[in-house]
Amino acid sequence: MKFTNETKVGILAILTVFIFIVGYNFLKGNDVFSDEDAFYAKYDRVYGLSVSKPVLINGYPIGRVSKLTLLPNGQILAQLKIHSGHAIPQNTVARLENTDLFSGKAIVLLLGNSSQFAKDGDTLSTNTQKTVIEQVEPIQQKTTQIISRLDSILTSVNGTINPEFQRNFERSFASIARTLETLEGTAKKVDGLVGTQSVKIGTILRNLESISSNFKNNNDKISSIITNIDKVSEDVAKADIAQTITQTNKTLVNLQSLLDKVNTGQGSLGLLVNDKQLYTNLTHATDNLDKLMVDLKANPKRYVNFSVFGSGKKAKK
């Protein structure tokens, strides 16, 4: 069968139009040769997302973005064409994620655990992963604040460190150096003193060791002494102190009774203490006796007469 040139041109034109239509739809994200389900997802921003970007599950492509529409409220509605045969639970999340460092985007389906599956035309839940710039921006802001504060601190420090302060600072360092030299000299003197007195220190340590040994050797005696002290304390504690106090109280009562009788003139002692006439007589007798003794000393011959040779003179009466 022989085709004319006009027929060939017509067939070529038809193929060209067909290829153009298929290519145009492919570039728009439409696959005219496969059975696909359409799902929708709404995003507040879609930086880097465009038509024909892949739809992934665990990195595996199951569809593509077929259309992007700006809604009146400012959100972007993305149409997702997913190959039929993939079961998508209703609580699946269509997450907009970065695919590279240069704002490349893809939609990753985070499959839910619902027993109900989304149908063709349903709208899925969404969230958006921050870009690297968005993640770095808070750090950049904090860094800017820190740098500003450091600049303020350095300005304050520069204002504080004036020439007078520097001179005082140098004098302080010089004083510290002198103090360290003094400490070094003191340490040398201490070392020398320890070296010269090492014999005495050794003797003292030996004496301490000897005292410690004596305590150790006489440990039994010390324990015995402590035991005896405990025993004496226990005996004192066990003594019948109450009975002693009772007997003392009885003695005091009897003594008080005796004193009461003396004060009231009962008995010989009471009469002797309370009889004023007897007191007066005793006073007169004492005075007369005193006068007699004085006269006896003054005139002994009046009362005593004796002879060395036994003469017969008699004392005058």
- Tens of pLDDT, residues 257-286: 888 877 777 776 666 667 777 778 878 888
Percent of the chain with pLDDT over 90: 13
- The pLDDT of residue 316 is 46
Q: pLDDT of 168-186, one tens digit each? A: 777 888 889 889 888 888 8
Question: Is the model more confident about 28 or about 141?
Answer: 141
Q: How far apart are CA 49 and CA 125, in angstroms?
A: 17
The answer to which of 60-64, 99-103, 154-158 has the lowest mean pLDDT is 99-103
Instruction: Please report, for the chain, the start and end positions of each structural domain, with discontinuous segments joined by +.
Output: 1-33, 35-129, 197-239, 254-297
Structure tokens at 18: 């067909």
Question: Is the model more confident about 61 or about 170?
Answer: 61
pTM value surpassing 0.85:
no
Residue 238 has pLDDT above 70, yes or no: no
- The pLDDT of residue 272 is 67
Average pLDDT over residues 196-208: 82
- The pLDDT of residue 109 is 92
Residue 317 has pLDDT above 50, yes or no: no
